[in-house]
Chain A
Amino acid sequence: MYSFEIVRPTSLADAVAALGQDEAQALAGGQTLIPSLKQRLAQPSVLVSLTAIAEMQGVSAEGGVLTLGGGTTHGTVAREAAAHYPALAALASNIGDPAVRNRGTVGGSLANNDPAACYPAAALASGATIVTNSREIAMEDYFQGMFTTALEEGEIITAVRFPIPEKAAYIKFEQPASRFALVGVFVAKFADGVRVAVTGASEEGVFRWTEAEEALSGNFSATALDGLTVSADGLMSDIHGSSAYRAHLIGVLTKRAVAAAA
């Protein structure tokens, strides 16, 4: 690693101020950033650790909305969100491995927007709102392609608000070594319609499968998806799976998610 300083503010205001320095970078759980630093893919002058900020921690549910502090770990979400939004808790409980889940955070995952990460699918399918130190960002405006989001330089995700669906499920076809999604599909059924978000597949990152949403909004059953296919154009192709294979998986996993939705 290149050399850098670490600061560990205890308030959001101090963290925002620290991120105003030249070449400062936010450090959440570090489960992606620290390996990247080891490979010298980043050269910050100062890392601003967000783990000591109490106001960014916690899980709460009120009025049909689950709010996660941006610094809440996957392990905490798995335990504390289960009673409110079981599909989201189940997603959190299958990210990485137990030690990774004790460090990695929901805010870190959504800020990084890895094209194979799980949380972007949950956020997009739920129609979540990203709350930062300066504003609220609607889901339609947030994801802007692989590893790219609407976040400005130095902007911190302080919380994420997930509307709780009537029924939901996330099915991940795991890449067995990394446990990232080779393809993952999150299906969420709300009173006013169904949302289907797909991660792991597109070169543009997470996306909504609108044809499936329309079919499922009229008839929420796996058979409603019969005959629907996804084009392989623009899907990722690598040693783990071709674009055609990923396209096929999207259809299969969406059916499984509908069948599993509770």
Chain B
Amino acid sequence: MTKVTMTVNGKTVAKEVRGNTLMTEFLRDELRLTGTHVGCDTSQCGACTIHVNGLNVKACTIFAAECDGAEVGTIEGQANADGSLNVIQQAFQDHHGLQCGFCTPGMVMAAASLLKDNPKPSEAEIRHYLEGNICRCTGYHNIVKAIMAASGQDVSVIAAE
């Protein structure tokens, strides 16, 4: 067992973990933060996307021990301080950027990373950036539209309503 200390959504947590504890397991089973979803567990689907020291990573492919000392952000930390949805989350709701919702936490976390680096991405840039996030309902049009809207851009140009 290894002692790890990290900040998760602004709160410091310290736990003993096994060497092979993945961040998905640490967040979901130890901290009960079940918003980080496990879709494939093989690094393909992106439903488990979290932020580690400000960078998006797949929580199924990083060990908790590797996050010792890190600042970790999950979907549970994305809402505004008063509990209302943040700009990206609200845009997903407004533009129906989800169908079953399983991929949504990862999509929102990936979108946050994209908009941090590129505040006004083009539709092509959004689609390219989301290569590592799979929506099994294939609801991509509205996800792209939501991210365009969250970045304050005109969404009338996006193909499907």
Chain A residues proximal to chain B, CB less than 8 Å:
1-6, 8, 27, 30-31, 34-35, 37-38, 46-47, 49, 51, 75, 96-100, 102-103, 177, 179
User: Is there contact, CB below 8 Å, between B66 and A6?
Assistant: yes
| Segment at the A interface, from B49-57, B83-91, B141-149 | B49-57
Collect the chain B residues with CB atoms within 8 Å of residue A75's CB. Answer: 55
Collect the chain B residues with CB atoms within 8 Å of residue A1's CB. Answer: 20
Contact of A35 among B20, B56, B61 (CB under 8 A): B61
Collect the chain B residues with CB atoms within 8 Å of residue A103's CB. Answer: 57-58, 61-62
Interface of B is mostly: mixed
Most buried by B among A1, A97, A99, A179: A99
Check B26 for interface membership: any CB of A closer than 8 A: no
User: Is there contact, CB below 8 Å, between B110 and A98?
Assistant: yes
Contact of A6 among B46, B55, B63 (CB under 8 A): B63
Check B43 for interface membership: any CB of A closer than 8 A: yes
User: Is there contact, CB below 8 Å, between B65 and A35?
Assistant: no
Collect the chain A residues with CB atoms within 8 Å of residue B43's CB. Answer: 31, 34-35, 100
Chain A nearest CB from B127 CB (Å) reads 12
Collect the chain B residues with CB atoms within 8 Å of residue A49's CB. Answer: 63, 65-66
User: Is there contact, CB below 8 Å, between B19 and A99?
Assistant: no
User: Is there contact, CB below 8 Å, between B55 and A3?
Assistant: no
Closest A residue, CB atoms, query B46? A99
User: Is there contact, CB below 8 Å, between B2 and A99?
Assistant: no
Chain B residues proximal to chain A, CB less than 8 Å:
2, 18-20, 22, 41-44, 46, 49, 52, 55-58, 61-63, 65-66, 68, 110, 113-114, 129, 131-133
Collect the chain B residues with CB atoms within 8 Å of residue A100's CB. Answer: 43, 58, 61, 132
Chain B nearest CB from A103 CB (Å) reads 6
| Further contacts, 4 of them, CB under 8 A, given A4-B20, A38-B42 | A1-B20, A3-B18, A6-B2, A8-B65
Distance of A51 Cα from B65 Cα, bound (Å): 11
Contact of A3 among B20, B42, B44 (CB under 8 A): B20
Distance of A139 Cα from B27 Cα, bound (Å): 42
Please list the 4 inter-chain residue pairs (A to B) with the smallest Cβ-Cβ separation, ordered nearest first: A97-B132, A6-B65, A6-B19, A102-B55
Distance of A67 Cα from B106 Cα, bound (Å): 34
With contact pairs A98-B132, A99-B49 given, residues A38 and B62 touching in the complex (Cβ less than 8 Å): no
Distance of A5 Cα from B56 Cα, bound (Å): 25
Distance of A100 Cα from B114 Cα, bound (Å): 14
User: Is there contact, CB below 8 Å, between B66 and A51?
Assistant: yes
